[in-house]
Amino acid sequence: MENIIQCEHVTHYYGDRLIYEDLNFEVQRGKILGLLGKNGTGKTTIINILNGYLKPRAGVCRLFGEEMSRLSPATKARVGLLLEGHVQHTYFNAEQIERFYSRFFPHWRRDAYHALLEKLHVAPTQKISTMSCGQRSQVALGLLFAQDPELLVLDDFSMGLDPGYRRLFVEYLKEYAAAGQKTVFLTSHIIQDMEMLIDDCIILDYGRILLHEPTRHILDHFRRYRFPSPAIGEVEGMWHAGPAGDHWEAYSFLPEEEVARRLAHAAGELTSERLSLEDAFIGLTGKY
Amino acid sequence: MIQAILYKEWIKTRRAVLLAAALLAGYVAYAAIHTGQLFRVDGAVATWANMILKDAFPLPAALRWLPLLTGVLAGIAQFVPEMTNKRLKLTLHLPMPERRVLSVMLLYGAGTLVALYAATILAAWGILARYYPAEFLAGFLWRALPWFVAGVVGYLFAAWTCVEPAWTRRASNALVATGALAACYLDAPAGGYLPMLPYLALLTGAGFCLPFYSAARFKEGAQ
């Protein structure tokens, strides 16, 4: 399947602080990939690098096969970009901004934009600078849908949104992606939203990719194990073992029998739990 | 697409443009009153003698700084919103060559200022033509031209400084801009600036190129 996004050997530092070393990943056409990571792991940085707004110290990213620093206008037209905080040109009103963007895209879907605004009771003459964060997010989303790009790059799309707006955003995105083999690359701090949406998941740790797996694989196989006494030292295949009340807990992709064997516990002493994506994220990255 | 960029720039800067137009129109009105008063109080002979013998300038002194003020105002009004929340990323993400986008933005700003300055000069000429012969007026125009050039160059330097992503560089850009603009404010007798005009044209050309350098630094993520 065609790779829409490719990042190869990306290394980046801010001053002396390492952000990534030799980062490699690909996103195939039609996939929705979520980039998860704690604050400061470089989620926005990778989006900046992808769109050519940051030159990494080494490595290259490509969108539709074009190098990020030299994206052609034709390729840019295929990429819908949502900046962190739903940043838009706030001096426009809702109608003016639609008129502005419509001139750049030949397949502009004016109706998609206005339908979304009507649903949220945003007046066409309302200035973007006077809108709430939720309304602004819908203007940004409406513009992206009207553009109808093949690839959506969304940086922290849920930032500042209440649960209702977040849910609406996710539902629209799901519908959009399912409708036409669209590719979506997104980051968010609200992992429960991602669980409903993403096919694949990259979890970033400081300086590296911790995990790049299909979301289904994580949800089906990653478990929290509780056991009565501590594991002895580091156990391979177990993540973040530590005390939790009067028990200990650890996380693993391994099946229960294998975990019992490695912990030298009887299988009966172990309890295993299926996890939400958010719990899996905590299990993989640690609480702090 | 160019029309769309011009539309965006107009929506963004229209208040600043109208303010600049109001300032220049106010100046022209004041100049008309001032000139009429000069001729009524001092009389035509004394006023003309003053102009010829003392090489005086017939218009109020604010004309030295007004174009620069309006130019810097236009630059700030146009480019500060682009740098707020790094919205320039949205502008540079438009499906149009980045240099063309920035060129259209700069030409919009410089073109608007030139139009405002041309209207100011024409209006002032129309008023002063009732009191002074055309030869006088041409001399006054040559003297005032560097101040109008300063307005356009000030606009371009303001754009250069605003688009620069690093604060330390912004400060140094502002200092360089101040030094370069001083070339438009040298004291010179009537006609004394004529040999400088090619250099002022070069300064304007350099001023047009510098924002592209800042934009390239912005794209590289310079901090």
The pLDDT, as a whole number, for residue A202 is 92
pLDDT at A50 over 70: yes
Q: State percent of chain A over pLDDT 90.
A: 29
* Residue corresponding to tokens 């996939």: A31
pLDDT at A104 over 70: yes
A74 lies within 8 A of chain B by CB:
yes
Same-domain check for residues A76 and A20: yes
The pLDDT, as a whole number, for residue A235 is 74
Same-domain check for residues A241 and A276: yes
Range of the domain at B212: 2-220
Q: How confident is the model at residue A273 (pLDDT cuts 50, 70, 90)?
A: confident
Give the domain-ending residue among A217, A246, A277: A217
First CA to last CA across chain A, in angstroms?
38
Same-domain check for residues A8 and A141: yes
Tell me: the pLDDT tens digits for A56-89?
A: 999 999 999 999 988 999 999 999 999 988 888 9
The answer for residues whose C-beta is within 8 angstroms of residue B223's C-beta and 6 or more apart is: A14, B165, B166
Q: Do B221 and A100 touch (CB under 8 A)?
A: no
Tell me: the pLDDT tens digits for B172-213?
A: 999 999 998 888 787 777 667 778 888 888 999 999 999 999
Tell me: the pLDDT tens digits for B74-118?
A: 999 999 999 998 999 999 999 999 999 999 999 999 999 999 999
Higher pLDDT, B220 or A236: B220
The pLDDT, as a whole number, for residue B215 is 94
Same-domain check for residues A83 and A141: yes
What value does the mean pLDDT take over residues A222-228?
85
pLDDT at A27 over 80: yes
The pLDDT, as a whole number, for residue A74 is 92
Interface probe, candidates B78, B94, B99, B217, chain A, greatest A C-beta count within 10 A: B94
CB pairs A-B closer than 8 Å: 70
**Pick from B12, B95, B221: which is nearest to A104 by CB?**
B95
The pLDDT, as a whole number, for residue A231 is 62
Q: How confident is the model at residue A260 (pLDDT cuts 50, 70, 90)?
A: confident
Give the domain-ending residue among A190, A217, A244: A217
Q: What is the pTM of this model?
A: 0.87
B219 lies within 8 A of chain A by CB:
yes
Q: How confident is the model at residue A267 (pLDDT cuts 50, 70, 90)?
A: low
Interface of A with B in 33-72 (CB under 8 A): 48, 51-55, 69
All residues of chain A having their beta carbon less than 8 Å from the beta carbon of residue B96 are 73, 104
Find out whether A99 and A171 touch, Cβ atoms under 8 Å. Answer: no
Q: Do B85 and A87 touch (CB under 8 A)?
A: yes
Is the predicted ipTM greater than 0.90, yes or no? Answer: no
Q: What's the number of domains chain B is made of?
A: 1
All residues of chain B having their beta carbon less than 8 Å from the beta carbon of residue A101 are 4
Same-domain check for residues A104 and A228: no
The pLDDT, as a whole number, for residue A266 is 55
Highest mean pLDDT (candidates A86-95, B32-41, B42-51):
A86-95
Distance (Å, rounded) from C-alpha A265 to C-alpha A251?
A: 15
The pLDDT, as a whole number, for residue A167 is 82
Arithmetic mean of pLDDT over chain A = 86
DSSP A150: S
Same-domain check for residues A114 and A139: yes
pLDDT at A222 over 80: yes
What value does the mean pLDDT take over residues B47-51?
80
Tell me: the pLDDT tens digits for B169-178?
A: 999 999 999 9
Range of the domain at A260: 222-285
Same-domain check for residues A258 and A188: no
Give the domain-ending residue among A217, A232, A263: A217
Interface probe, candidates B8, B163, B218, chain A, greatest A C-beta count within 10 A: B8
Q: What's the number of domains chain A is made of?
A: 2
Arithmetic mean of pLDDT over chain B = 90
Same-domain check for residues A209 and A258: no
pLDDT at A251 over 90: no
What value does the mean pLDDT take over residues A237-259?
82
What value does the mean pLDDT take over residues A188-195?
82
What value does the mean pLDDT take over residues A11-19?
88
Same-domain check for residues A124 and A236: no
Q: Do A83 and B97 touch (CB under 8 A)?
A: no
Local structure of A133: helix, strand or coil: helix
Same-domain check for residues A212 and A228: no
Tell me: the pLDDT tens digits for A147-182?
A: 989 999 999 888 777 787 788 778 888 888 887 788
Q: What's the one-letter identity of residue B70?
A: T
Local structure of B125: helix, strand or coil: helix
| DSSP symbols for A197-252 | T-SEEEEEETBEEEEEEEHHHHHHH-EEEEESS--SS--TTEEEEEEETTEEEEEE
Higher pLDDT, A236 or A35: A35
The pLDDT, as a whole number, for residue B17 is 96
Q: Do A88 and B87 touch (CB under 8 A)?
A: yes
Same-domain check for residues A139 and A262: no
Q: How far is B113 from chain A (nearest CA, A)?
A: 21
Same-domain check for residues A206 and A235: no
